């Protein structure tokens, strides 16, 4: 059981595709902007995502995917 989360909520969240949710949240806020060019801009975007409850692993996945998509 997650800390502070009931078992019923935890079961409901088990089927959530967090990678899809983070992509949608990022796209809604930043659109199809390219990979952040500065560390300050990346940090700003990371703060935005953390404030919405995404984990560090999910944020790293997102930026890796964005960087790879930029070179395709």
pLDDT band at 7 (very low <50, low <70, confident <90, very high): confident
Check if the beta carbon of residue 36 is closer than 8 Å to that of residue 45. yes
Q: What is the pLDDT of residue 43?
A: 96
User: Is residue 72 scored above 80 in pLDDT?
Assistant: no
d(C-alpha 60, C-alpha 63), whole Å? 5
Provide the angle, in degrees to the nearest 10, between the axes of the packed helices 56-70 and 39-51.
130
Q: Is 26 exposed, middle or buried (0-12, 13-18, 19+ CB in 10 A)?
A: buried
In the three-class reduction of DSSP (H, G, I as helix; E, B as strand; rest coil), residue 2 is classed as: coil
pLDDT in tens, 20-63: 999 999 999 998 777 888 999 999 999 999 999 999 999 999 99
Q: What radius of gyration do the chain's Cα atoms show?
A: 14
């Amino acid at each position: 059981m997650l800390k502070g989360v009931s078992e019923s909520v935890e079961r409901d969240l088990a089927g959530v595709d967090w990678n899809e949710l983070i992509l949608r949240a990022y796209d809604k806020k930043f659109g199809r902007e390219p990979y952040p060019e500065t560390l300050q801009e990346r940090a700003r975007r990371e703060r935005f995502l953390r404030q919405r409850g995404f984990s560090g692993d999910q944020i790293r996945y997102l930026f890796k995917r964005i960087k790879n998509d930029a070179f395709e």
